Amino acid sequence: MTTFNNHLPLTGSVPQVRRAQGALAGIADNAYLRLFAVVVAIAAGAAALIIGIGFLLDIVVPVIFADELRALAALFPQTVG
């Protein structure tokens, strides 16, 4: 059993103190905003991965084949005429 959302019943006139909430606390309270934040983070990670793979191929392929045109000819031999 967890202690999340378990509140003691109020007896008498006990004042409720509400905490000041910042932007992140406001997002943490809303399930839809949390889901949106997770989807945005996953999309940003995927975009960074694709860009990283592109840069890696742009650097590694010419090093292996010494020239980009020869690299394309080696990778796609059926297009060379």
Give per-residue pLDDT as tens, 22-78: 766 766 778 888 899 899 999 999 999 999 998 888 888 777 777 777 777 777 777
- Reduced to 3 states (helix: H, G, I; strand: E, B; else coil), residue 80 is coil
* pLDDT for position 53: 92
* pLDDT for position 67: 72
Q: Tell me phi and psi for residue 12, to 5 degrees.
A: 80, -165
The answer to whether 64 touches 71, Cβ cutoff 8 Å, is yes
2-23: average pLDDT: 63
* pLDDT for position 50: 96
